[in-house]
Structure 1
Amino acid sequence: MPRTRRLAPVLASVLAGAVLGSGLVTACQNDDEPDGTARSAAAPLAPTTSGGPEVAPSGPPGPGTGTAGPDAARSKWLGRRLRDIVDAQDFDGVVNAKTGQPPPAVPNVDVAVIELDDAGRPIAAANTLLSQDYPNGVVVPVTRDLVAPGVRWTHWSNSRWAAKRPAEPILAGRGGAPLEFMAPYPASVFKLMVAFGVGRLHDRGGVGFDEVYDYRPRKASCPEGAKPGTHRVSEWLDAMLTYSSNSATCALLMMLHERDGVDPLNATLRSLGLTTLRVVDTDAADGGGWSFEGLTMTALDTSRLLLLFSEAPGTLWSTPKGTPVTVGTLRRESRALIRRGLAEQGLNQALSTANWCGRDYPARGIPQTVPGRWIDPRSGEVRVEKRTYGGDVRRCAADAEVEFAHKTGLVPSAGADAGIVTALPGRPPRRYVVSVFSNLGCTWVDFVGAYGGDCRYTQKLATLGAEIDALMTKTAGRPTAELT
């Protein structure tokens, strides 16, 4: 039976609209809220129906991958289990951090999982969407090439979500798709695309990782304002990936603008079939100007992007033109540097909550190990730049089971996490990519005063991560015929 939504009072809807549609810039996990002003709305969209938990994709599957590729039956099974897990999290059970009122609509949550074999090759893929149109989640059919052609993706708008109104499409030509979904703002997970762009620039000889880049912004549209600095490109990358430095991101984006790297970045993403991944309308004068319309990502395309940072052999998928895609899209040096930054992630507080290990709250997420560089040798506390997480994580070290090479993103209206999970030696085997995008930023919390009122994620993302990891642990190495 579909979950019955609590009817939020009219006042809650008004307050939510005032908070979410104000366009105020509010610091949050070193991310900042972009300008929430949407462009003019597209023509009214034809209504879509979920038809139950599964909807057939529009059009035939894409070309073969040239390898064994994802198993259709296994992917279908994984899709059903993932939908059940997403539905079980009760994501609409959050409250407004200031008023305690429920959200005006079911939150939008986009979750993708790609199961990998021991070599890192995709063997199954699943994508689930949750929204007011699909309050119990809907399974998105995924083709052999890890594409979800049956979804009409639209730009995020806080006000349109709260008012239950349609938004502008991200992709042209999807009007006949059976599903429609407003893709949440990616927040700092978009920095994965910046890293990819820097790697591509390096590979064509446009920059060296040991090269010193002198960042001299000509304006202050970067979320942290105008903060000039001089560092090696590898150091800028490390700061952007491991503790989500906005200044480092703006520096790298400004460098990409100066060296003709932004347009080729977007062109490459399109040519690879990663059509929902876009970095447009950023400001060449300082690398800022981040907006809901300019930065778009979806969970399945983000998971495929992460595969390009791995060392998986063979063809990962084929482009819309049938060209095989391999990790050779980036040179080994570029892949290794980006992957090292993701593995050194300090902000383990969304799908994983390892920075707070051993506490009753938040709930435990993916049981990852915390990189030692962030652990205070005297207290055992995790300290990441200006952020301190209480508690001694050293007592939890023996409980860690996986490495989670990932990137988080958090602003008031968006909470996201995406990365590659690999079992540690001696631990139960599993290997998979997981990405989640949601509008569950720190406007929506588990209870008023959570984390002492600090801007943090709902622990529902952690329980989501824990249940996905348990599923992938149970699934790993088992033949499809044995899965029930």
Structure 2
Amino acid sequence: MTAALKPVALDAASLAEALRTAVLAQDFGATLDPQDEGRPIRHFPSIDLAVVAFPEKGTPVAANVLFSREHPQGLVADIAPGAGPVRNIRFLADQRDAEGNSIAWRPASDWSAMDWTPLAGEVGEGGGRVVAPYPASLLKLMLLAGVGRLVDQGRAGWWQALTYAGRERAVSDWAYDMVTWSSNEATSALVTLMHAAGAIRRDGGREVRNELHTLFAALGLTTLRFANTTAEGGWGNGSGSGVGQIQMTAWDTVRLLWWLDPVAPRAPWLRADAPRLSPESRNQAMHALQDQALHQVLSSGALGGVLGWVPGLPARLPSRWLMPDGGLHAGEVSLPGDLRRFATGGEVWFAHKTGNTENYTSDAGIVRGILPRRRHYLIALLSNLGSRYAPHPSCSTTWRIPALGAAVDARMATWLES
């Protein structure tokens, strides 16, 4: 790293400004939109980015910056003492129309004419409103945590047989596929488990019990919502869930990761009696996150065979997904090229979960340096920059997102390894 990149000191203000500057440096407003005849995107995209750094000496340092068409220069979240909730942002839930289509992100969408549902927060001095984009398959991180709690309560088992769509597999196997290559079938199977165990219950077509929400409330993560799934495993728009019913924000997502991270310092906002995961359930969760195959968002090693490849957060790609010729194959996902150099190189381990649809891309995880590198931080990004902005069918989003991941990691390296 050059001396010019090195900030004077790592504190909340300098971290927030570094994140804001890194986003602006990617020129997201120039992203081309194929839904608008290939012109630059009409509205600055919504980007919610949060980082928690764990210096080897000293206390954790955190920041959250948010961008949207209404805030193209970015808002810096006011985080309550002790890594508490964001205090100056009023989050609004994403929304869809009667046909189940996401409508907030169309080129001609008019936010002033839309009827928004509050998600969390109040507007304070210097704050503003932010529409929280649908998390896409990042939502599976919430379900993973919920299954872990169910197991710890003795109401399910990791090695328990669970049948869905005619297939019988262990709960741990369903969970692994749900995280590592984002299996939607595995997600549906685990949703049926939550309902069968009584952790989620519907009556008269309405959800009347949701222990995921109880868990998130006990952890102080009020913007994490996993609402209106069905006993048959439905969790998408067509089942009445999906966009507007399932919600996450970057700040509460990194705090959920903080709760999961086995080597992170104590989470200061949590009470002594806050729920915890057992070592077995934490290990199951971390095993799946660490074996993530889809390095296609903040990290981009899985896309190393795509023309025009842009390096992202420098994570090592798990070798278990590589074929003899170096191509990647994980479940229903196949990606081209000889990727073996990414399975032996890299500077960090990135235990994470991605999410991607036409309108949304997200990524959140735990970053730890591969020795002798020592950095350790959490990162979460949610955005409306989905696959419609991807330059290649194998890509999940614009190359600007992995470029942002690389820029953030470079900053963290200068702070945490100097």
TM-score range, shorter chain: 0.7 to 0.9
**CA drift at 1:172:** 5.5
Flag the structure with higher strand content. Answer: 2
**CA drift at 1:409:** 0.3
In the alignment, which of 259, 264, 267 is matched to residue 308 of structure 1?
Answer: 259
Contact 2:327 2:339 in 1 (8 A): yes
Which shows bigger deviation, 129-138 or 107-116? 129-138
Alignment of 1:162-173 (within 5 A): 162-165=109-112, 167-171=115-119
Matched, 1:472 2:412: yes
Aligned AA (1:130): F
In the alignment, which of 397, 400, 417 is matched to residue 460 of structure 1?
Answer: 400
Contact 2:48 2:383 in 1 (8 A): yes
1:145 corresponds in structure 2 to: 82
1:26 corresponds in structure 2 to: none
SS at match of 2:39: coil
Same amino acid, percent of matched pairs:
33
1:422-463 deviation per Cα after TM superposition (whole angstroms, max 9, x unaligned) = 01122x321100100000001223xxxx21x45621111100
Contact 1:200 1:265 in 2 (8 A): no
Matched, 1:210 2:159: yes
**CA drift at 1:145:** 2.8
| Gap change, CA 1:209 and 1:118, over 3 Å in 2 | farther
1:95-120 deviation per Cα after TM superposition (whole angstroms, max 9, x unaligned) = 2235312323111000000001349x
Contact 1:421 1:431 in 2 (8 A): yes
2:326 corresponds in structure 1 to: 380
Aligned AA (1:471): R
Aligned AA (2:369): A
Matched, 1:159 2:103: yes
Q: In angstroms, what is the RMSD of aligned CA positions?
A: 2.2
**CA drift at 1:313:** 6.0
Aligned AA (1:87): L
1:303-361 deviation per Cα after TM superposition (whole angstroms, max 9, x unaligned) = 01011221136630224xxx2477x6111110110011000001110000111337662
d(CA) in 2 for partners of 1:358, 1:285: 38
Contact 2:303 2:395 in 1 (8 A): no
Which shows bigger deviation, 93-102 or 363-372? 93-102
1:115 corresponds in structure 2 to: 53
1:398-423 deviation per Cα after TM superposition (whole angstroms, max 9, x unaligned) = 53111100000000110000000101
Contact 2:160 2:170 in 1 (8 A): yes
**CA drift at 1:386:** 3.0
In the alignment, which of 194, 199, 207 is matched to residue 256 of structure 1?
Answer: 194
Aligned residues: 384
**CA drift at 1:472:** 0.3
2:308 corresponds in structure 1 to: 361
SS at match of 2:365: strand
SS at match of 1:135: strand
1:25 corresponds in structure 2 to: none
In the alignment, which of 434, 459, 462 is matched to residue 379 of structure 2?
Answer: 434
d(CA) in 2 for partners of 1:466, 1:389: 21
1:125-171 deviation per Cα after TM superposition (whole angstroms, max 9, x unaligned) = 01111111211222212223322111100011343453133552443
Matched, 1:126 2:63: yes
In the alignment, which of 213, 227, 236 is matched to residue 266 of structure 1?
Answer: 213
d(CA) in 1 for partners of 2:34, 2:394: 10
Q: Which runs of 4+ in 1 moved over 6 A?
A: none
TM-score of the superposition, structure 1-length normalised? Answer: 0.75
Alignment of 1:51-200 (within 5 A): 74-97=11-34, 99-118=37-56, 123-146=60-83, 147-157=85-95, 158-161=102-105, 162-165=109-112, 167-171=115-119, 174=122, 178-200=127-149
SS at match of 1:117: coil
1:43 corresponds in structure 2 to: none
Aligned AA (2:161): V
**CA drift at 1:291:** 1.7
Contact 2:10 2:415 in 1 (8 A): no
Matched, 1:331 2:278: yes
| Gap change, CA 1:107 and 1:379, over 3 Å in 2 | same
Contact 2:181 2:333 in 1 (8 A): no
Contact 1:298 1:437 in 2 (8 A): yes
2:98 corresponds in structure 1 to: none
Aligned AA (1:210): W
Structure 1: gaps of 5 or more residues:
1-71, 216-226, 479-484
Alignment of 1:265-304 (within 5 A): 265-288=212-235, 289=239, 290-304=241-255
d(CA) in 1 for partners of 2:362, 2:123: 27
| Gap change, CA 1:174 and 1:311, over 3 Å in 2 | same
Aligned AA (1:469): D
| Gap change, CA 1:141 and 1:174, over 3 Å in 2 | closer
Structure 2: gaps of 5 or more residues:
1-8, 96-101, 201-209
| Gap change, CA 1:117 and 1:75, over 3 Å in 2 | same
**CA drift at 1:387:** 2.5
d(CA) in 1 for partners of 2:19, 2:354: 21
d(CA) in 1 for partners of 2:70, 2:33: 21
Aligned AA (1:190): L
**CA drift at 1:176:** 5.0
SS at match of 1:137: strand
In the alignment, which of 268, 278, 289 is matched to residue 342 of structure 1?
Answer: 289
SS at match of 1:339: helix
**CA drift at 1:374:** 0.4
